[in-house]
Structure 1
Amino acid sequence: DKSVKVAGDVFTNDIIYYMRTQHNLYVGDRTAEKIKIQIGAATEDLDLPPEEMSVQGRDLLTGKPKQVQISYREIAKALDKSILRIEDSVMETLSQTPPELAADIYNTGIYLAGGGSMLRGLDKRLSQKTDLPVYIAEDPLRAVVRGTGITLKNLPKFKSVLIK
């Protein structure tokens, strides 16, 4: 019943801040988004790590265009605080879960939805934190909308879950 408000935009801003502070490189939203998609990771321990990426931006010291090579490990570090917030929120939610629902979660696992769920290694990292299986929903970008639609079509069936 709790949605964690650490969205992809937060990850994008984390990357912009990291590039600025660690590489003295100013990158825009589009470049940060591209970094997130191409080499973004929730952990430094990936089974199939992406290759390093060339990133262009403006050198904050000289004002000139500049290019640097970055690795997924750097991006995992850049996103770590936001991912810790997700972990904390998941653990807090689990601690407040009614017993019947806790049994369901234990048996079926946790499903991640939304664009942030596609971050490499997020499912593995949350599984290690919770000791539960964690899955990425089928078609994660549309999963929330589809679930809401199903719920609205079957409101009487879901009323007890939705309204306290």
Structure 2
Amino acid sequence: MICGFARVSIDGQTLDAQRAALLAAGAEKVFQETASGAKADRSELAKALKALNAGDVVLVTRLDRLARSTRDVLNTLDTIAKAGAGFRSIADAWAHTVTPHGRLMLTVLGGLAEFERELIRARTGEGRTRAKARGVKMGPKFKLTPEQRRHVAQERAKGESVRHLACA
């Protein structure tokens, strides 16, 4: 089965053009919703993904109708692949998983996204190290004043339980 997915971001936009293109391209069922691609909770997309069986194909008019971020696209494509289904975009001929060429392109895209994520992780770690060296304290602010913390430390040294001190 070819399962179409149409999405518009704003209530004022219409799904008619996407729906017509999906049906003309062979979609047997079209899931459609009005929701931002950046929004994590897209109920119609979730329904479409749950309805997939091995051999099915998810069809969209353009890749940006599926998701807004590379990470979200890759996660969604992974869900589709785990269902044994394929993916195809009408406007983006390279964005499909139904041929070896398309799988190669999406694998390269996934590799680049993973590489970027590792670069971000490394830069963040380096920034944290520099901030700590400058004396920046990481984590949430203390809820107790320095005097209260000293008092708690003294009471703990005397053997008082944390539970008792929290209730005091």
TM > 0.5 = no
**Coarse TM-score class (shorter-chain normalised):** under 0.3
TM value normalised by structure 1: 0.27
**More helix as a share of residues:** 1
